[in-house]
Amino acid sequence: MSRGSGGGYDRHITIFSPEGRLFQVEYAFKAVKAAGITSIGVRGKYSVCVVTQKKVPDKLLDQTSVTHLFPITKFLGLLATGMTADARTLVQQARNEAAEFRFRYGYEMPVDVLSKWIADKSQVYTQHAYMRPLGVVAMVLGIDEEKGPQLYKCDPAGHFYGHKATSAGSKEQEAINFLEKKMKNDPAFTYEETVQTAISALQSVLQEDFKATEIEVGVVKADNPVFRVMSTEEIDEHLTAISERD
């Protein structure tokens, strides 16, 4: 006879519920949405672009310290959506791991390898009771030497997939619907198209036009595979191009 909800602990630590679910993992996903930020990533033919909202809750805050976009190595970027503190832990560990990889094996850590490492670490938190899952969805971007531009998304459950385009955060589903329509016929976006698709997706889903200071944009391009956070001037150019295009 089933003992019901496992003594009630299935909501507190990551053990199975009677329906075979992990509530703590599901709650971690909710925490990502609760942060109130939406992020979008788009992979083009020769570049990858990620965009996220930059909400500075207090005018007295130093805006440059409010960021969700982190370089992991010179060539790999990570966009963390969700709880900022958890994001910083993840970034710190990822930076360490990527540096050790480079030292140990003599070549740069590829995007999919780093994503797998992040996802495997997240899986450990879903199986061991002593650590809760992190409330962060990580989008990792970079240019792979063999496969070209890559965009991976890792979630608190330990899943990771490569994406042609994806989204995370509060308006995740709406953004994915928008992107599915845009990417339906497997378009091969140029760099400008990639950036503009990402930014206009965010604008459409949040139904507001942004100023350059309200969003963060990160890119990698095949001809210069360094991960770069765009300056406000560059963002402004793209925003103008989008509004002129419409």
Measured from the CB atom, is 156 or 225 closer to another protein? 156
Residue 128 · residue 15 · CB < 8 Å: no
Measured from the CB atom, is 21 or 55 closer to another protein? 21
Q: Is 144 in the site for another protein (CB under 8 A)?
A: no
* Residue in 165, 168, 201, 212 binding another protein, rule: CB under 8 A: 165
Measured from the CB atom, is 184 or 245 closer to another protein? 184
Specify the amino acid at residue 162.
Answer: G
Comparing CA positions, the residue from 43, 42, 39 lying closest to residue 51 is: 39
CA atoms within 13 A on the CB side of 204: 19
Output the six-digit token pair for 169.
């955060």
* Residue in 11, 18, 36, 85 binding another protein, rule: CB under 8 A: 18
Give me the DSSP letters along 109-122.
PPHHHHHHHHHHHH
Backbone torsions φ then ψ of 164, nearest 5 degrees: -85, -35
Measured from the CB atom, is 175 or 212 closer to another protein? 175
Residue 167 · residue 38 · CB < 8 Å: yes
Q: Is 222 in the site for another protein (CB under 8 A)?
A: no
Q: Which of residues 86-105 bind another protein (CB under 8 A)?
A: none
Query: Which chain residues interact with another protein by CB under 8 A?
Result: 1-3, 6, 9, 13-22, 43, 112, 116, 119-120, 122-124, 126-130, 152, 157-159, 161-166, 176, 179-180, 183-184
